[in-house]
Amino acid sequence: MTAAGESAAAAPLLLDVQALGKNFGGVAAVSELSMSVRTGSVAGVMGPNGAGKTTLVNLITGLLPSDSGAIRFAGAEIQRSPAHDIAARGIARTYQNVRLFSGMTVLEQVMAGCYVRRGASLWASFLGLPKARAARKAVEQHAFELLERVQLGRQAHLLAETLSYGEQRRVEIARALGTGPRLLLLDEPTAGMNVQESNEIGSLVHSLRDGGLTVLMVEHNVRLVKEFCDHVTVMNFGRLLAHGTPADCIAHPDVQAAYFGNTADADRIRALR
């Protein structure tokens, strides 16, 4: 564990999930799941396809209501709060698939996220009042600073759809940062990326953590999790399978069986490591 990870291990809980449950018909997508994320850490959520990882993210962010259990963020229960209230409290997210607005520049995409905390009223914006113009200028400047933070400042005025897949992922992260979150949830941020692109996302996540942000990352890339996460929660069939350091979780026989179906598959386990 890195020095930053060791420091985070002693930090207070920011997110605390207890006995969380969500059923779809007769299928338990998440069942009696408990996990926590400490302030200033990079936490990972792993699991094979169908483990319930994205459902967990949707429950935390209020896109789905939970059937049972509790979700506490900064000490307050949020499991019954609407998604916009949870976002306002300081939780932002990205999605498995790139979700950018068609026909908008990179800068405009990020500005859209910044307007969650806009300082001018809708009417002031509509009428073009001085306060609204000043607020827009401030939002534009902040959005550009966020693009610089994710190394996309030079692409600010390009149409977002002309960027590479990896760059579009960075735009989504910058847009999420525009909401001013305390906790950033990344749902498979490196899906479809090569090794270099994945490492760049991992380095970006570390820079965000070092800047004071807490990150929860759902990821299939086990190498990335092992290298960049401070601690990991492993799910299978909606239940908690393992929790601890990446190395300990990857070495866990039940985790290896869940991923490979056979713990004796030595070649694939070596490739994982």
Alpha-carbon distances, residue 133 vs 112, 128, 136, 272 (angstroms): 15, 6, 5, 52
- Give the residue ranges of the chain where pLDDT is below 50: 120-124, 126-127, 263-273
* pLDDT at residue number 218: 94
Q: What is the reported pLDDT for 118?
A: 55
User: Three-state DSSP class for 186?
Assistant: strand
Whether 54 contacts 218, CB under 8 Å: yes
Residue 41's identity, in one-letter code, is S
Closest residue by Cα to residue 30 from 62, 69, 84:
69
Q: 């405009």: which residue's tokens?
A: 108
Instruction: Yes or no: say if 192 and 105 are a contact pair by the CB < 8 Å rule.
Output: no
70-97 CB burial, b ≥16 within 10 A, e <16: ebbbbeeebbebeeeebbebbbbbbbee
Q: Where are the beta strands (DSSP E) in the chain?
A: 13-24, 27-38, 42-46, 68-73, 76-77, 91-93, 183-187, 214-218, 231-236, 239-244
pLDDT of residue 178: 93
Confidence (pLDDT) at 273 = 46
The whole-model pTM stands at 0.85
Q: Residue 142 and residue 137: Cα distance in Å, rounded? A: 9
Q: Give me the residue spans of the domains in the chain.
A: 1-90+181-273, 100-179
- What secondary structure does DSSP assign to 23-63, as a single string? EETTEEEEEEEEEEEETT-EEEEE--TTSSHHHHHHHHTTS
Fold for the domain defined by 1-90+181-273: Rossmann fold (3.40.50)
The predicted structure's pLDDT at residue 129: 55
